Amino acid sequence: MIWVLLLLSLLLLLLLLPSYRVREGTAARNHSEENLRLYEERTEELQASDMDDEEKSALQLELDREFLANAEPETASGQAQSGIKRWPLAFAMVAVVVAGTLLFYQFWGASVELKATGLLDKAAQAELTKPEREQLISYLQQAADKNPQNQEWYYLYGRMLTVNSEFDRAAKVFADILVTLPEEAVEDRAVTLTLLAQAKFFAADQKADEETYNLLKESLELQPDNRQTQGLAGMLAFELNKYQAAIEHWKAVWLSLPDSPEAQMLAQGIQRAAERLQEQGETADLSWMKRASIKVLVDLSEEARQAVKADDTVFVLARAVSGPPMPLAARKLTVADLPQVITLSDAQAMAPGMNISSYDQLTLVARVSASGQPQPQSGDWQALKTPVSNQEESMIRLVVDEQIP
């Protein structure tokens, strides 16, 4: 539509300009012809007069100068006026194009994506009213239908339907997305399977069934570390009397959590599942529910103590021997605090799923940092011990005695 307006405006401009040029050229020619006629009449009268040749030459020269003086301003004036007349027309045409473009853009709904984005931004800051939610759903549906290759709009549409408790419609959207995803899109398929299972579960008034549970198991085969999927799978497994499976699902979530109220609530669910197993004559091994903690005595060698300052920072941390470099637990002290016994546990986890209970073998590090930064630098003093079991019951002694070159 925008291009049509531009082309029509350009065509109109091309049609108008020649007519202005013709009118301006005609007026200029008429004026010049009148000047020429008067000049010729006066010249003839001068030649027919009784003046001598010298007087005639002087007057003829004066007539020539007057003719030229009249002709040049007219030409310049015609050109200036022509330019002046064209500018208002040009500005008017630009104004028409801009106004028309915006009006048609709004009228034909070309800004649906912008409207949807605006409401999504608002939803991130405050709760939308019911009419706003319904309007957003409408915009997202239009944007999704308009951009079928961009699945992000379909995901947003399905999620908004879920938020609006329209679970049946949401399930259909996620099912349609799943059909279009290739097998190699592992992460996208896993997420979509979870969203589909979630929508179907709530559409059934939170009643578990094998079909929905199987969707979650399929998702976990693709993405086993997804806590949301593991948690929901545990709920469905429990409702389906699959108590051992529920424990396994919740175990994965519990081990990824720090010692927190959320972990304590999950532990209660695990205990209930274990009790149901006992009622069925089975037993559940819950020894893994003991939170890993390691006691560490941190001290300095005499050489190190003489080289550092009392207010230098001391970092004590535990890392996985085989795993990400991010610390699983960390404490911050000063040289003046040493020697000191500390406990490293899941309570000091720095990220979900990154705690010492999740990794059997650990590396313990104590480092004195003159800069106060946790990253090791030349001149820092440190102690390192590896491997250490996360179930170690005896106290580990770390004596800072090595200087980093």
pLDDT of 396 higher than 90: yes
pLDDT score for 31: 53
Retrieve residue 294's tokens.
């390691």
Kindly list the distances between the CA atom of residue 391 and the CA atoms of 204, 270, 359, 360, 400, in Å, as whole numbers in the listed order. 43, 21, 10, 8, 23
Q: Which pairs from 5-12 meet CB under 8 Å and 24+ separation? A: 5/97, 5/100, 5/101, 5/104, 6/97, 6/101, 9/93, 9/96, 9/97, 12/93
Q: How confident is the model at residue 194 (pLDDT cuts 50, 70, 90)?
A: very high
Kindly list the distances between the CA atom of residue 182 and the CA atoms of 84, 119, 150, 220, 368, in Å, as whole numbers in the listed order. 63, 31, 15, 17, 51
Instruction: Give residue 47's Cα distance to chain centre.
Output: 90
The proportion of the chain whose per-residue pLDDT surpasses 90, expressed as a percent, equals 47
Q: How confident is the model at residue 16 (pLDDT cuts 50, 70, 90)?
A: very low
Q: How confident is the model at residue 88 (pLDDT cuts 50, 70, 90)?
A: low
pLDDT of 347 higher than 90: no
Q: How confident is the model at residue 346 (pLDDT cuts 50, 70, 90)?
A: confident
Decide which of 345 and 197 is more confident.
197
The proportion of the chain whose per-residue pLDDT surpasses 70, expressed as a percent, equals 73
- pLDDT for 228-286, tens place per residue? 999 999 999 999 999 999 999 999 999 888 778 888 899 999 999 999 999 999 988 99
pLDDT score for 48: 63
- pLDDT for 281-305, tens place per residue? 998 899 888 888 899 999 999 999 9
pLDDT score for 1: 46
Mean confidence (pLDDT) of the chain: 81
pLDDT score for 267: 92
DSSP annotation string for 344-358: EEGGG-SBTTBSGGG
317's CB contacts (< 8 A; 6+ apart) are 327, 328, 329, 330, 331, 344, 364, 365, 374
Distance CA 202, CA 47 (A): 112
DSSP annotation string for 99-160: HHHHHHHHHTTTTHHHHHHHHHHHHHHSPPPHHHHHHHHHHHHHHHHH-TT-HHHHHHHHHH
pLDDT score for 211: 96
Retrieve residue 36's tokens.
């020429």
- pLDDT for 37-86, tens place per residue? 666 666 666 566 666 666 656 666 665 656 555 554 444 444 444 444 44
pLDDT score for 73: 44
Q: Look at 86-100, 121-135, 181-195 and tell me which has the smallest mean pLDDT.
A: 86-100
pLDDT of 2 higher than 80: no
**Was domain 165-289 assigned CATH 3.40.1280.10?**
no
Retrieve residue 124's tokens.
């991130």
- Per domain, the residue ranges of the chain are 2-107, 165-289, 293-403
Distance CA 351, CA 258 (A): 8
Distance CA 255, CA 358 (A): 6
